[in-house]
Amino acid sequence: MQHKIAPSILSADFANLRKDIELVNDSEADWFHLDVMDGVFVPNISFGFPVIQAIQKYAKKPLDVHLMIVQPERYFENFQKAGASLLSIHIEASTHLHRSIQTIKQLGMKAGVALNPHTSISQLEDCIQDIDLVVLMSVNPGFGGQKFIENTFCKTSALKELIIRKNAETLIEIDGGVDLNNYSKLIVSGADVLVAGNTVFSSNDPQKTITQLKNFSLD
């Protein structure tokens, strides 16, 4: 399977949001990545349901929604109604992870679990077969434009080994600091989905940058 590219809308121009949505629509990107922050789980606030609904109105590709919030289970149905195709919650914010995964799936969405840089993948040992997507944070969550954490390569490889050993079909998504210098090594390490924010939207030619990120092959 060829890897997927999910431009992070957090880095888009919110004064011209529809223009950037159309840019992604017309590119080789696969998903829209939407970071929802509450100012409690992470020290930043991003956007909520009205913005997601506005994006969904024009988006022609799936919405990959990443919740960086406390008590995410309170809002699963709201995000489904707002248009989320994939919904990822942080393991650090989820007391009853398995129940949450099942609820997300019952609502018709793919279920993702996100891990902060310090969180061990061993915590996924008992539920990896139930998870559609694991989001490995390669920066400390809360802000875009941070420096990539090099240990992510090792963590990605170890997670891929766990997925294979458990005969799971889980995808690995890397979120934070992905750029044209490290994306190929991430794919070699086992990444299936690359989230790219500043790398795409700060580029002089965002569509060309997306194509570059997309067109690396292990073959």
- Which residues are the active-site residues? 35, 175
Say how far apart CA 47 and CA 26 lie, in whole Å: 24
Beta-bridge mates of residue 4: 193
DSSP-based three-state secondary structure for 86: strand
Cα dihedral sign, 13-20-67-169: negative
Q: Which two tokens stand for residue 194?
A: 């690359």
Tell me how far CA of residue 47 lies from CA of 17, 68, 82, 131, in angstroms.
Answer: 13, 11, 12, 25
Cα 60 to the center of its chain, rounded Å: 17
Residues 74 and 103 sit within 8 Å (Cβ to Cβ)? no
Say how far apart CA 137 and CA 68 lie, in whole Å: 11
